[in-house]
Amino acid sequence: MKNMGKGRLFFWIIITASFLFTLYRNTAWVNSLVLWSDCLSKSPAKIRTHHLMGIAFMEKGMIDEAEAEFMTAISKINEQEMPYRKADFLYFRIGQIYIRRGLYEKAEAAFKTALTYNSINPVVRNHLGMLYLQKELPDKAENELRIALIQEPGYAYTHNNFAIIDMGKGLFDKAIEGFKGALLYAPDDPFIHNNLGVAYREKGLLNEAEKEFLKALSIKEDYQDAIDNLNMLKMSKGLKE
């Protein structure tokens, strides 16, 4: 990718984080596992039950178990006369697992399959765009993100990911505005606050960066990227003082 400069390292770190970051839920994953395990024992043939059981495993970080449930659900799609309405998200989840394992070609294929079931899915488009960025295909990445933004203008993560692209190009002012725009739709998202902090830091606005890292940690106190960024920032400020 052109014009990456010294920002290339943190750029790829932040892209990777965008894939691995898990949305938080107030409900404990244990409750989800208990619930869907019970449903699965009563209705083992239902695609939806395997799908949601897989999601519960993903929330716990049990990727192998999640994949097994998703693949079982996929194997049952053709067995039923009525189409499964969430098939796009089922393949999307499989794509997420492939990304975690670094299997980018398989992830791309899974996302594209998801779009054959529902082409108007900004979540899948957004992730496919970031996958293209990971593969250093910026034109394809921006095209998918544009489609995602058309499909859902208020989807915070598309605004966030456009800002990531701008930051990778060294356009820090534009990136800052992009992250701020994303926060209009998701004001309590620690991931976006952390990204805004990184953009401020690269711009040399250390006090503003510190506020954003602290904001991210006030929302999710164990968010390791924000912890690391805050510690690095304090070290940097200490050296300058």
Q: Looking at the domain assignment, is residue 26 inside a domain?
A: yes
Tens digit of each residue's pLDDT (9 = 90 or more) over 95-105:
999 999 999 99
pLDDT > 70? residue 229: yes
Residues 131 and 27 in one domain: yes
Q: Looking at the domain assignment, is residue 102 inside a domain?
A: yes
Residues 118 and 197 in one domain: no
Residues 232 and 120 in one domain: no
Q: What is the mean pLDDT of residues 49-55?
A: 85
Q: What is the mean pLDDT of residues 169-191?
A: 96
Residue range of the domain that includes 53 = 1-152
Residues 137 and 229 in one domain: no
Question: What pLDDT, on a 0 to 100 scale, did the predictor assign at position 16?
Answer: 53
Question: What pLDDT, on a 0 to 100 scale, did the predictor assign at position 58?
Answer: 87
CATH code for the domain in which residue 19 is found: 1.25.40.10
Q: Looking at the domain assignment, is residue 163 inside a domain?
A: no
Q: Looking at the domain assignment, is residue 164 inside a domain?
A: no
Top-confidence residue, 48 or 9: 48
Give the model's confidence band at 59: pLDDT under 50 very low, under 70 low, under 90 confident, else very high: confident
Number of structural domains the chain divides into: 2
Residues 48 and 139 in one domain: yes
Question: What pLDDT, on a 0 to 100 scale, did the predictor assign at position 192?
Answer: 96
Residues 148 and 180 in one domain: no
Question: What pLDDT, on a 0 to 100 scale, did the predictor assign at position 64?
Answer: 94
Residues 141 and 60 in one domain: yes
Pick the last residue of a domain from 152, 181, 212: 152
Tens digit of each residue's pLDDT (9 = 90 or more) over 110-148:
999 999 999 999 999 999 999 999 898 989 999 999 999
The three-state DSSP-derived secondary structure of the chain is: CCCCHHHHHHHHHHHHHHHHCCCCCCCCHHHHHHHHHHHHHHCCCCHHHHHHHHHHHHHHCCHHHHHHHHHHHHHHHCCCCCCCCCHHHHHHHHHHHHHHCCCHHHHHHHHHHHHHHCCCCHHHHHHHHHHHHHCCCHHHHHHHHHHHHHHCCCCHHHHHHHHHHHHHCCCHHHHHHHHHHHHHHCCCCHHHHHHHHHHHHHHCCHHHHHHHHHHHHHHCCCCHHHHHHHHHHHHHHHHHC
Residues 193 and 116 in one domain: no
**Mean confidence (pLDDT) of the chain:** 84
Question: What pLDDT, on a 0 to 100 scale, did the predictor assign at position 4?
Answer: 42
Q: Looking at the domain assignment, is residue 48 inside a domain?
A: yes
% of the chain with per-residue pLDDT over 90? 61
Residues 76 and 131 in one domain: yes
pLDDT > 70? residue 41: no
